[in-house]
Amino acid sequence: MQSTPFVRILRDLVRNNARQYGMVIALAVIVVLFQILTGGLLLRPLNITNVIMQNSYVLILAVGMMLVIITGHIDLSVGSVVAFTGAASTVLMTSWGLPPVVVVPLALAMGGLIGAWQGFWIAYVRIPAFIVTLAGMLIFRGATLIVLGGRSIGPLPQSVRTWASGFIPGFTDGPHLLTLLLGAAGSVALVWIQWRVRARDLHHGLPALSARMTAVKAVATVAVVMLFAYALADHNGIPIVGLLLLALIVGYAFLMKSTTAGRRIYAVGGSEKAARLSGVKTQRTTFWVFVNMGVLSALAGLVFAARLNAATPGAGEMFELDAIAAAFIGGASASGGVGTVIGAVVGALVMGVMNNGMSIIGLGVDWQQAIKGLVLLAAVAFDIYNKKRVGSARPGGGTAAPTGPGDPSPPDGAQQDREKEDGTAAAAPAPPR
């Protein structure tokens, strides 16, 4: 039986964009599954707010870790840097009496210096990032114990606690009006971007979604965003830390998609040799990626300490693994050059929803760890399968197949591996849409 044009378009859409949208579909399936298993508790407004606030620091780290992995490196020290910057900031505020407006820039600068220290050894001395950041994990965990003297220190000023647990003002009774307005504005922006991308593809003669499919995609986008906004508005509105996350996601997504710096990061991860021959300062790019990771780790440290209302010696433990897992689940390639900021956010949400859902149904920590490990393994296996599928679809195995209609995504990992061997990679692959 012949399929209709709509079914064919939908089938091709899923097949060609499996790498981009596979984890979004997986996230939706996981949400529905735990919504059923928890008897409807997962998507209650209060619980949605809790998921955002409980995973805010992992989301911050995942964004920075995605950039590190795109350049072909790894950072094992972020959990210890979170603990150290959080501890130092807390001591400055509680023992030294410095105001938060002074401590916050100092903490971010401290994180930047830590990132510069590690980036120097990795980019200029050429010591593998695994070794440098493993040493950093030990150094800054020890520094945390020294700063805190092996004990917890708190409480923090109320203004700091508000960052991690407060909400933006609503101005009216009933549903949070400002949250609904922000949701509507976000929906309009996302729909405008979708139609703009379609118009650009048509202008350049590239394959593009039909007007009907773009309209269906727009309606689905508006429905998801407004349902999410309504759920938040029905509780207390958008958390302040949620607004911070939104700004980071939009800013870094723009950086990686639409700026020269983003293209250089993809180029370094795709083929460092080709990027260097094309004029990209690869050492400088790698150095600044680690500086950025240090600053984001410091920001996560501030948020985590504010949420706990104290700095503890055990803060940040396993955060590095959560951030790395979020990046790989979100589509990053272990060979570098592939990944998106939105993918990292989706990966972090997959981890967060699973943690929350399994805790609600009373699953033990042992089973939670095992299941999360299996999900990570499945995500990497899917990545490898997708590379082989795309590779086998190429005529003669030598022509890169796009990951979507008109998608200017960087080459997939299998192609990069071959290019790294012969140094023939495109120096500056365009970032994914």
pLDDT in tens, 70-96: 999 999 999 999 999 999 999 999 989
Tens digit of each residue's pLDDT (9 = 90 or more) over 402-416: 333 333 344 444 444
pLDDT over 80 (residue 59): yes
The model's pTM: 0.82
% residues pLDDT > 90 (the chain): 32
What DSSP line would sit under 352-404, residue for residue? HHHHHHHHHTT--HHHHHHHHHHHHHHHHHHHHHHHHHHHHTSGGG-SPPPSS
For 28, the 3-state DSSP assignment is: helix
Please compute the mean of the pLDDT values over residues 267-290 and round it to a whole number.
Answer: 92
Q: Which of 14-18, 263-267, 392-396 has the highest mean pLDDT?
A: 263-267
* Domains defined along the chain, listed by start: 43-166+239-388 (1.10.3470)
CA distances, 74 to each of 60, 196, 261, 330, 336 (Å): 16, 35, 19, 15, 10
What residues have CB less than 8 Å from 188, skipping those under 6 apart? Answer: none
pLDDT, position 148: 92
What does DSSP assign to residue 150?
A: T
Distance between CA atoms of 34 and 358, rounded to whole angstroms? 8
Task: Calculate what percentage of the chain has a pLDDT beyond 70.
Answer: 83
Q: What's the rounded Cα separation, in Å, for the pair 353 and 410? A: 29
Q: What is residue 162's predicted lDDT score, i.e. its pLDDT? A: 84
Handedness of CA 82, 88, 89, 91 (dihedral sign): positive
161-193 pLDDT per residue, tens:
887 888 887 766 777 888 888 888 888 888 888
Say if CB 400 and CB 247 are below 8 A apart. no
Q: Mean pLDDT, the chain, as a whole number? A: 82
Q: How far apart are CA 146 and CA 144, in angstroms?
A: 5
pLDDT digits (tens, 9 = 90+) for 378-389: 877 776 776 676
Beta carbons of 411 and 400 less than 8 angstroms apart: yes
Q: What is the C-alpha to C-alpha distance for residues 178 and 319, in angstroms, rounded to an integer?
A: 33
**Cα–Cα distance, 222 to 291 (Å, whole number):** 36
Taking a C-beta distance cutoff of 8 angstroms, is the pair 119, 287 a contact? yes
Q: Is 400 left (phi over 0), alpha (psi -120 to 50) or beta?
A: beta
Alpha-carbon separation of residue 257 from 200, 249, 307, 330 (angstroms): 15, 12, 32, 16
